[in-house]
Amino acid sequence: MKIIGSYAIDYSHTIGNVALWNDRKDCHDLSVTPPIALMPSPFPAELFEKAKAVQETLSELYFRISLDHDFLVDAYRDVVKADKWIAKQIELMEMVKKDGIRQNISVQLQRADYMSHWDEQQHKMELKNVEVNIGQVGGPGCATLMSKLHKRMMEKVGNLRYGQPLSSTVNGKLPENCPRKGMAEAMLHAWKLFGDKNAVIVFMNQPELFPVCHFEQLQFIQVSEDLARKEGIYINVVRMTIKETTQRLCLNESDYIMYADGRKVALIHMAYGYLPEHFPSEKEWNIRYDMERSKTILSPNIRLSLSGTKKIQQVLAKPGVIERFLPGQTEKIALLRSTFTGLWGLEEDNDEIRACPKKYVMKAQLGAGKGNYFDDQMANMLSRMSIKERGAYILQQKIWPVVAKNYMKRPFEKPTLEDIVSEVGIYGTFIGNQENGGKVLWNRVEGYLVRSKAHNVNQGGVSEGGGVVDSLILFPENELKY
């Protein structure tokens, strides 16, 4: 195992599967491999294909939700009474609507996260959606490189043990995976739609927050530049923190063109700005408002941001809601609905929830794995909250995934064999024109991300150190033992 662990780290460094060290975020001379699984984790092939099959439908659905102002306002009617973060975003959306939308191109980078779920009553494995992330989607760089690493690890382990690659000795399949390039192609296409070859892309980030996320998101922006160069196009990508945008971005009130350091801005990708603490003052809100009323293409705009919350996920689970946005797509809707878990609002009291908290997860309207509450913590919170306060949360039926074994390798630690569960995120890129009811210009499935964690851990974020970046080896469901 020492040989395998060292080989994984060495190979990761040769392919750029690295990030800044959490303990020295300020030092760009130091890099470490992020927490990784040493081998790909098993997953049912049928469920993986199903997750890919619904992605284009999911992307179009959220685009069309973003076009329905009244639906969004109504969906958050109870949430805004207790959630100041959502209330501020709704206020911003209302201001933008009143002022007028000047850029009709809408860019949506999406990652829909799933887990396998064992249905004890039906005695079968199901695919269940955990959440949908829009805009600030982490992982495309790491995911691309983990698939490359694990392909090499299968060869290395097989040659050490059997004298041939493991792919020759097992019936599993390593799916092709390059979301980094797919994201880059979508960004390049969106930049072209702005129609000014001298305009820049602004990449809004906060590198010291989560070094892993910063670096791998930076990768697909850099790949966008590389793809453009192959076409003889030279794009200038300007990196800024949200604080720097308040100083370096300027909106021309006469023609509503946004400028960055004196240059026109074609596209702003916001890899930051999804939590309340990202907006410490009115300055940050004011520049976000200027972005929204400018002619700059946003990834994402405020309407898409509000479409991708837990509350919208819960409302979509109600009968007839999806049909409102995708009329006539009966088969696609049925397939998509089959991935939903039980989802409920908390506007009313429920004794059963407090009595059996282990069956549920309570979720706030936050991204990055924040605001999730489990078990006794959830029950205690519910016992203290008023009906008004409960309106800011939703309740999701807990998913019971299949447990597998894998070796986890974290920075500066020895590999450990652990019982793990995996969360699979499917990437989608979408570009639409919001005029005349909305037109789809670009809709693609772009690969996947896997994050695995110990089976007995509720919160398993990679950036926080609980989980690891992983990839999949796919088996027919009847070959996996549950």
414 annotated to bind ligand = no
Residue 267's SS3 state is strand
409 labeled binding residue: no
Say whether 345 counts as a known binding-site residue. no
Annotated binding-site residue? 371: yes
60 DSSP 8-state letter: H
List beta partners, residue 258. 251
Q: Cis omega before residue 300 (within 30°)?
A: yes
Cβ atoms of 45 and 173 closer than 8 Å: yes
User: Positive or negative CA dihedral for 232, 235, 236, 237?
Assistant: negative
- Residues in contact with 178: Cβ distance below 8 Å, sequence separation at least 6, in sequence order: 144, 147, 446, 447
Nearest to 474 by CA among 49, 4, 38, 52: 49
Q: Tell me if 2 is assigned to a ligand binding site.
A: no
Q: How many CB atoms lie within 10 A of CB 140?
A: 30
Asked if residues 409 and 8 have their Cβ atoms less than 8 Å apart, the reply is yes
Residue 68: which H helix or E strand, with range?
none
- Residue 366 known to bind ligand: yes
What is d(CA 286, CA 302) in angstroms, rounded to the nearest whole number? Answer: 13
The dihedral built from the CA positions of residue 222, 137, 269 and 366, taken in this order, carries a sign that is: negative
Torsion angles phi and psi, residue 177, rounded to 5: -155, 115
C-alpha to C-alpha distance for 465 and 333, rounded to whole angstroms: 37
Whole-number Å distance between alpha carbons of 140 and 169: 29
User: Do the annotations mark residue 372 as ligand-binding?
Assistant: yes
Q: What share of the chain is helix, strand, coil (3-state, %, to 5)?
A: 40, 25, 30
30 has binding-site annotation:
no
To the question of whether residue 151 is assigned a binding role by annotation, the answer is: no
In whole angstroms, what is the distance from residue 235 CA to residue 220 CA? 14
364 assigned to a ligand binding site: yes
Q: Is residue 16 a known part of a binding site?
A: no
Q: Is 453 flagged in the annotation as binding?
A: yes
What DSSP string runs through 195-243? --TTPEEEEE--TTT-HHHHHHHHHHHHHHHHHHHHTT--PPEEEE-HH
Please give the backbone phi and psi of residue 440, each rounded to the nearest 5 degrees, phi first: -80, 125
Residue 24 marked ligand-binding: no
CA–CA gap between residue 89 and residue 299 (Å, rounded): 16
Q: How far apart are CA 22 and CA 291, in angstroms?
A: 31
> Is 311 annotated as belonging to a binding site?
no
Q: List residues forming the annotated binding site.
A: 310, 363-372, 423, 451, 453
Q: List residues forming the annotated binding site for substrate.
A: 451
Q: List residues forming the annotated binding site for ATP.
A: 310, 363-372, 423, 453
